[in-house]
Amino acid sequence: MVVFHNKDISDKSFLVTGGAGFIGSHIVEYLLNNHAGKVRVLDNFATGSEKNVTMFASYSNYEFLQGDIRNYTVCAAACDGIDHISHQAALGSVPRSVQDPVATNEVNVGGFVNMITAAKNAGVKSFVYASSSSVYGDEPNLPKVEDRTGNLLSPYAVTKKTNELYAAVFCELYGMKAAGLRYFNVFGPRQDPEGPYAAVIPLFIKGISSHLPVYINGDGEQTRDFTYVENAVQANIRAMLSDNSDAFGKVYNVAVGSNFSVNFLYHSIRELLDIPHQPSYREPRSGDIRDSLADISRSRKLLSYEPTLQFSDGLKLTVDFFRK
């Protein structure tokens, strides 16, 4: 993996909430491989996996704390002695939030307020959190620019927008250094293909590989700015370690800046696997955005963010991972 920072972090302590999850575990891996002083993970394995963190057990600078962000005492203990926080813990998935808005809100809003309050009280130097491209809602213009959002289309989107509002207030009121990252369809190794809320890429790979039915919602011509996980890791590292005071109190698109249809994605995976498997089409999913494409100029300007892997390269690495 490319190195995304140019300072010594051997005396710095990091907390990654949701570190047993897909994106979180990649952030943990980067920090450990680049000699961070201490890396603590907080996770309750609600959506994360124990196997995503067992590989870190041999690192002397690694700590694991099992707990739920809905408990403030747990959040306070997790923040103790920490310099920088990457807050990835959340209940993801638009369909899950449509199914269960109460749980989504308890974790994503209640848990977020616990975490950012505990971070403030612990005097952390930076608090970077996962937001989502879902906050753009029905705003029709492409590419998506951070200051231009529409009506929200799902409870999940409401929770992520609420996180952004809270973070802005904490920056203003308490002088915190917080930054939000609006992820655009992040994918890569270790993304879970199991369960009713699995993401589309591991689901397609699993279905095609196993000759199982693969469903495409709607006509498949909806587009997404598919973003390889290494790019999300880069944004977290650059934001947490930023010396630019103008970088905080803002939200950033984390994407590649190019989009592809779900049909194109399906056919690309099929070609990489060399399996002529046909998809089935069904009704569009409620709460879904039709088209998505990010403007990443703010991330470039204020975070020095630059995608290192494009869609096709990332997809090949991901298919290779699941093949093995």
pLDDT of residue 84: 98
CB 238 within 8 A of CB 4: yes
Q: Specify the 3-state DSSP secondary structure of 214.
A: coil
- Cβ atoms of 39 and 111 within 8 Å: the answer is no
- Band (93; pLDDT cuts 50, 70, 90): confident
Helices 22-33, 229-240: inter-axial angle, 10-degree rounding: 60
pLDDT of residue 94: 87
The pLDDT of residue 11? 97
Q: What number of other Cβ atoms are within 10 A of residue 173's Cβ?
A: 9
pLDDT band at 196 (very low <50, low <70, confident <90, very high): confident
pLDDT given at position 134? 92
What does the mean pLDDT of the chain come to? 95
Q: Which sign does the torsion angle of CA 3, 8, 10, 12 carry?
A: negative
pLDDT of 288 higher than 80: no
* CATH entry, 13-184+228-256+296-308, from 3.50.30.30, 1.10.357.10, 3.40.50.720, 3.90.1150.10: 3.40.50.720
pLDDT score for 290: 86
Statement: residue 228 has pLDDT above 90: yes
Over residues 178-194, the mean pLDDT reads 95
Kindly report, residue by residue over 15-38, the tens digit of the pLDDT: 999 999 999 999 999 999 999 999
* The pLDDT of residue 285: 79
Phi, psi torsion values for 127, nearest 5 degrees: -130, 105
Binned at pLDDT 50, 70 and 90, residue 181 comes out as very high
pLDDT value at 9 more than 80:
yes
The confidence score (pLDDT) of residue 160 equals 98
pLDDT at residue 195 in the model:
75
Residue 47, both tokens: 């959506």
Mean pLDDT of 112-123: 98
Whether residue 212 has pLDDT greater than 90: yes
Among 136, 156, 166, 266, which one carries the catalytic annotation?
A: 156
What was the pLDDT predicted at 218? 93
The label of the residue with tokens 């993970």 reads 41
Please tell me the predicted confidence (pLDDT) of residue 147.
97
Give mean pLDDT, residues 130-143.
94
**What is the widest separation between alpha-carbon atoms in the chain?**
57
* Helix (H/G/I), strand (E/B), else coil: 1: coil
pLDDT band at 89 (very low <50, low <70, confident <90, very high): very high
Of the chain, the end-to-end C-alpha distance in Å amounts to: 19
Domain ranges for the chain, please list them: 13-184+228-256+296-308
197-206 average pLDDT score: 91
pLDDT band at 197 (very low <50, low <70, confident <90, very high): confident
Mean pLDDT, range 57-69, rounded to an integer = 97
Residue 80 has pLDDT above 80, yes or no: yes
CA atoms within 13 A on the CB side of 84: 24
Q: How far is CA 53 from the centre of its chain?
A: 17
Q: Which residues contact 59 (CB under 8 A, 6 or more apart)?
A: 32, 39
pLDDT at 198: 83
Q: Quick check: is 156 catalytic?
A: yes
